[in-house]
Amino acid sequence: MTANSAAPATARAAIKKRRSSSPRRLILGVAGIITFLLAWEIAPRVGLLPARYLPPASEVLAVFAQDLGMASLWKAVGDTMLAWVIGLSIAVVAATVIGLVVGMSPFLRKFTNSTVEFLRPIPSVALIPLAVLLFGVKLESSLMLIIYASFWQVLIQTLYGVADVDNVAMNTAKSYGFSYIQRVRDVVFPTVWPFLMTGIRLAAAVALILAITAQLVIGSPGLGNEISRAQSGGAIAGMYALILATGLLGVLINMVMRFIEKKTLGWHPSVRGEVVV
């Protein structure tokens, strides 16, 4: 705090430095992608890797471009995203509410701790047979896996967040006669929000993994199912094109989540710090 007066100047210099270095980063990044694609193109062509199993990049990209014009790809993407959105929303809402209620009561926290610690590491794929038995290949079986996997991510982050609430602020709110709802809204939630956002970002990635997994293994409709069909049907280039699509979907989800995090947490030191320091 002593260097307060010097801070704006340093900050400006830092921003300038970032800006000047960013085209270099961009060029290097693009060069990296091009190098990767070239390696992928050349390796099967010269016989380093069998082209039968790994078609050259140009072939896969051509199939990918062709797929982009087809309704079947978009339907698969739509099915995947539908499962992702529903599953993630249910998990986030349930985990936030339960996390706030449990986190704010020391008794409930201690009471549920052992159960949470035991249930959390259970891999959600262990539930695949049960989901198949209960729901077959319908959307519900994907949802069951997605919700189970993302729920814990958000719950744990919410609990950490509530534990981080400043005691003085909490006691002040109490002595000013804040009601439970007011305390949650004005004292607890602002502290929890950065933690919760991290949880949601992690859960979003996990939910996509589980959505694809459910489709791949169980066979509910979506990208995962298309991949397994392309593979068993011998459409190898098509399979790689679909994998490319899942990767791009993953990148997109990550980017959107980071954007939301940055927008809603502009006031928070962890985000502000990235710009200034």
Partner 1 sequence: MQVLKQIFYIVALPLILIGLWALGTSGAKNFFVPTPALLAERFAATWFTERIFTDVLPSIGRLVTGVLIAIALGIIIGLLIGLNKWLRDFTEPVFEFFRAIPPPVLVPVLMIIMGINDSMKVAVIVFGCIWPVLLNTIEGVRSIDPVQNETSRSYGIDGFARVRYQILPSAAPQIMAGVRQALPIGLILMVISEMFASSSGLGFTIVQFQRSFAIPEMWSGIVVLGLIGVAMSFIFQFIERRILRWYRGLKEVENAS
Positions in the binding site for partner 1 (CB under 8 A): 24-25, 28-33, 35-36, 50, 53-54, 110-115, 117-130, 132-134, 205, 208-209, 212-213, 216-217, 224, 227-228, 231, 236, 239-240, 242-243, 246-251, 253-254
184/250 with CB nearer partner 1 = 250
* CA–CA separation, 164 and 160 (whole Å): 6
Could you tell me where the DSSP H helices lie in the chain? 7-45, 57-68, 71-104, 106-119, 128-135, 139-163, 167-175, 180-183, 189-217, 223-232, 236-264, 269-276
What's the closest the beta carbon of residue 25 comes to partner 1, in angstroms?
Answer: 5
**Residue 187 gets which letter from DSSP?**
I
What's the closest the beta carbon of residue 171 comes to partner 1, in angstroms?
Answer: 19
What's the closest the beta carbon of residue 30 comes to partner 1, in angstroms?
Answer: 8
What's the closest the beta carbon of residue 48 comes to partner 1, in angstroms?
Answer: 13
Q: Crossing angle of helices 139-163/128-135, nearest 10°? A: 130
100/253 with CB nearer partner 1 = 253
254/265 with CB nearer partner 1 = 254
178/229 with CB nearer partner 1 = 229
Q: Is 220 exposed, middle or buried (0-12, 13-18, 19+ CB in 10 A)?
A: buried
